[in-house]
Every structure is written in C-alpha cells, then in structure tokens.
Structure 1
Amino acid sequence: MHSKVDVAVMIGSGVPAYLRTMGQSVCWVVLLNGERRGKAYCSRDEAEECKAVWLAQLNAEAPDSLH
C-alpha cells in the first residue's frame, strides 16, 4: 500500500487549546493517509521536518522490490 504524508494547517477553533492559551491562532499538523499523526506544531517548518521523518520511516519499511 502506498502511504501519503501531508502537512495541513489548522486555524482558529481547530487549534488545540494548549496552543490557543499561548496565543497561537494557527498551527500545522502531519497527516498520514488523511489521519492526524503526532502533535500540532507552531510552525510549518517543524511540521515539514516531522513529515520528512515519516517519509523516511515509510521508505525504510517498504519492501525491497519497491526501492
């Protein structure tokens, strides 16, 4: 199965309460096949780093015939 990893932005009430209390009205999350994985990030760069880790892990787990 081919997995898709994306970064999505959350705005306003979609931002977790702990980030809203810190004044954040925007956050980014990593989605694996459309499902949120891990925590919400304060910057897109942090979310992109997490996405890169997911992609590396998924590539490492892929069967050798797909490399």
Structure 2
Amino acid sequence: MNSQVDVAAMIGTGVPRSMQAVGKRVCWVVLVDGERRGTAFASRAEALECRAAWLAQLQRCSAA
C-alpha cells in the first residue's frame, strides 16, 4: 500500500496556542494519508525534514 505524505500550512487559530504565545501565526504539519502526524513545526524546512523521515520509514516498512 502506498501512503501519501504531505506538508500542510496552518494559519491563525489553527496554530497551537504555545506557538501563538510566542508570536507565531503560521505553522506546518505533516499529514500521512490525510491524518496529522507529530507536532507542528515553526518552519516549512523542519516539516519537510519530518516528511522525508516518514517517507523513508514507510519505504522500509513496505520493503519488509
């Protein structure tokens, strides 16, 4: 089974309160098959790194 792994931006009230408290109004999250996985990221680059890790993990699982 092939899983879809995406990065999505969250804006405004979708941003976790802890990030809003330090002035962040946008964050990025990783979605695996449309479901949020893990934490919210302050930068898109961090989210893309997490996406790459998910893809690698899923590839290892499908190869087993």
Does the TM-score normalized on the shorter chain lie above 0.5? yes
What is residue 61 of structure 1 aligned with on the other side?
61
TM-score for the superposition, normalised by structure 2: 0.96
- The Cα offsets for residues 5-57 of structure 1, whole Å up to 9 and x where unpaired, read as 00000000000000000100000000000000000000000000000000000
Count of aligned positions: 64
Amino acid at match of 1:14: G
Unaligned ranges ≥5, structure 1: none
- Taking structure 1 as the reference length, the TM-score comes to 0.92
Tell me the equivalent position of 1:22.
Answer: 22
**RMSD of equivalent CA atoms:** 0.9
Quote the Cα distance in structure 1 between the aligned partners of 2:49 and 2:28. Answer: 11
Q: Which amino acid aligns with 2:37?
A: R
CA separation in 2, counterparts of 1:63 and 1:5? 17
Structure possessing the higher radius of gyration over alpha carbons: 1
